[in-house]
Structure 1
Amino acid sequence: MAYTLTTQVPLPYAEAIDAIKAALAEQGFGVLTEIDIRKTFTAKLGPEAGDSVGDYVILGACNPNLASRAIAAEPEMGALLPCNVVVRRGPDAESTTIEAIDPQTMVQLSSSAHVREVADDAGTRLRAALAALPL
């Protein structure tokens, strides 16, 4: 099973981050965390590690209504939240890749009908956010 929803955009890295944040907001998601992997790798592992990963950020996106429903259905679902969205561009890339966790991954871990409903809703919203990006 593929575990991400992925698209490529012809935008520069910083513009792609702004575009996905706006598209997520339109779907009711806020960004709770922003982890700059390149910066972290450079600081912890050295410049070569940072350079090899290229521009890479993990956005922790959360739709409070969906998160509330998932946690109410199964409190353990909090371990899978927020929905991670990756924006990355390798050193020689001509486009920027944007990937979101496929919420159906939650369904693989739970037999709850309520979790399935939340995953379906989240998946629809994340797909819409990715589809709103310029291709």
Structure 2
Amino acid sequence: MNYYHSKILEGKDFDAVRTEVEAALKEEGFGILTEIDFQATMKKKLDKDYLPHVILGACNPTYADKVVSIEPHISTMLPCNVTIREMENGNIEVTAIDPATAMAVVDNNDLIEHAEEVNEMLKNVLKAL
């Protein structure tokens, strides 16, 4: 079972894809809470070179409120990560976590309905690209 969904985009600029991803997330009601520049972090911490790669911590406040109200410790699994990375062949891959799969380990059926709804929203983001 995959714990993520991804889409590969050919012939696009990394920064342009990032702009598209952020717009598609906003359209689905997500904001960006965190950002990790994986490329810069690996260079700084390990002096290792990576192609452009960012991790965006996306949050839909309505759904975050719903799941934290059901299970307060679920906040350890928030926000939903969406990654954008340049591949060796120059293509850009956008990947989003499958929150339904991730939250299945919590064993609380009340969460699954919401996680599946968020999962569909994240898949819509990828479709929009």
Tell me which interval the TM-score lies in, with the shorter structure as reference length.
over 0.9
Determine which of 44, 55, 74 is the counterpart of 2:71.
74
Percent sequence identity is 36
Q: Can you give the 5+ residue segments of structure 2 that lack an aligned partner in the other structure?
A: none
- Unaligned residue ranges in structure 1 (runs of 5+): none
Q: Is the 8 A contact 2:37 2:53 kept in 1?
A: yes
The corresponding residue for 2:17 is: 16
Q: What residue in structure 2 maps to residue 119 of structure 1? A: 115
Hey, which bits of structure 1, 4+ residues long, moved more than 3 A? none
Aligned residues: 128
TM-score by length of 1: 0.90
Alpha-carbon distance between aligned partners in 2 of 1:59 and 1:93, rounded to the nearest angstrom: 22
Contact preservation (8 Å) 2:3, 2:102: no
Q: Which residue of 1 aligns with 2:46?
A: 45
SS of 1:6's partner is: strand
**In the TM superposition, what is the alpha-carbon distance from 1:104 to its structure 2 partner?**
1.5
CA distance in 2 between counterparts of 1:23 and 1:14 reads 14
- In structure 2, C-alpha distance between the alignment counterparts of 1:37 and 1:106, rounded to whole Å: 22
1:62-95 deviation per Cα after TM superposition (whole angstroms, max 9, x unaligned): 00001111111111110000000000013x3231
C-alpha distance in 2 between matches for 1:88 and 1:105: 22
TM-score, length-scaled by structure 2:
0.94
Shift of 1:114: 2.1
